Amino acid sequence: MEAPDEELMLAYGRGDAGAFEMLYRRHRGPLYRFVLRAIKQRSVAEELFQEAWIRVIEARSRYAPQARFTTWLYTIAHNLLVDHWRKKGLALVSLDTEDVLSESANPARHAEGREALARFLQALEALPAAQREAFLLHEEAGLTVAEIAAVTGANEEAAKSRVRYAMAKLKAAVNDD
Binding site for other proteins (CB under 8 A): 12, 14-17, 20-21, 24, 28-29, 32-33, 36, 46-47, 49-51, 53-62, 72, 75-76, 79, 86, 92, 112-113, 116-117, 120-121, 124, 139, 153, 167, 170-171, 173-175
Least distance in angstroms from the C-beta of 45 to other proteins: 9
Least distance in angstroms from the C-beta of 99 to other proteins: 18
Closer by beta carbon to other proteins, 33 or else 99 = 33
Which residues have C-beta within 8 Å of that of residue 95, sequence separation ≥ 6? 85, 128, 129, 130, 133
First to last CA, the chain: 42
Closer by beta carbon to other proteins, 1 or else 93 = 93
Closer by beta carbon to other proteins, 79 or else 99 = 79
Q: Say how far apart CA 15 and CA 130 lie, in whole Å.
A: 36
Q: Say how far apart CA 23 and CA 7 lie, in whole Å.
A: 10
Burial of 91 (0-12, 13-18, 19+ CB in 10 A): exposed
Least distance in angstroms from the C-beta of 98 to other proteins: 17
